[in-house]
Amino acid sequence: MPRGDAEVTDQILYKRIQKFDRPITIKDLVTRLKWSRGKIDGAIGRLTEKDIIATVNISIPKGQRQRYIGIPGKDYWEAFHKHYFIKNNSILIYDTLGVINEFQGASKIPNAKIDMLKGQAGSLKTNIDSSVLEVLEDNIDQLKSLAQSRNMTSAQLLENRLPYLLLPDFVILMKIASVIAEEAQSDNETERAVALSFIKRASAQLTDKL
């Protein structure tokens, strides 16, 4: 498709998205515009790469994933957050422009749990509970054997498993990372563009904090 045609397509799609009073799905756009899914996928991918539209990918409690598209700064994102995340306990996979993050705060882990973990981390530096040492000593042979079977040291094995014990949300975070990595390699143009856009923004934010 000539570049000019793509730009016209993107503008038409963007104007249609602006008319909605809620975040929408690709299915909504296919129905309203009567375009092919591939044509809409391509336009959404290009608009996402330019940070013109916000794309939010969620996983609802039953496990289905759904991608919603909208305009950054719209009031409807707050209602969207209340419905999917507060009322229905959905999981946020990615949020390309942070339109949901502002309502969720810096972390979904309660402050009390964060304080508890900080306290645990501090005490571990100076003193390890004797009962913990006893458990380690009693299971050292099994620990070494398991570590060797995975080509790592006992310390590395513990380090890899501790996050699952200390932070229950770590399992969810690993699943989210898996989804993003999978979509970044997808043959679907929209999935690939959105995932790569999220990774790019997340990397930039991480670099700013270092």
pLDDT digit string, tens, across residues 34-68: 999 889 988 998 998 888 999 998 988 776 888 99
* Mean pLDDT over each residue of the chain, to the nearest integer: 77
Mean pLDDT of 107-122: 44
Which option is the CATH number for 3-105: 1.10.10, 1.20.1250, 3.90.700, 1.10.3470? 1.10.10
Give me the pLDDT at residue 124, please: 44
Is residue 31 over pLDDT 80? yes
Domain residue spans of the chain: 3-105, 111-166
For 38-47, 132-141, 166-175, 190-199, which range has the lowest pLDDT when averaged over its residues?
A: 166-175
CB-CB contact of 108 with 117 (8 Å): no
pLDDT digits (tens, 9 = 90+) for 136-145: 777 777 877 8
Asked if residue 87 has pLDDT above 70, the reply is yes
* pTM assigned to the model: 0.56
Task: Tell me the DSSP string of the chain.
Answer: --HHHHHHHHHHHHHHHHH-SS-B-HHHHHHHH---HHHHHHHHHHHHHTT-SEEEEEE-TTS-EEEEEE-TT-THHHHHHIIIIIIS--EEEEETT-TTHHHH-S-SS-HHHHHHHHHHHHHHHH---HHHHHHHHHTHHHHHHHHHHTTS-HHHHHHHHHHHHH-THHHHHHHHHHHHHHHHT-SSHHHHHHHHHHHHHHHHHHHHH-
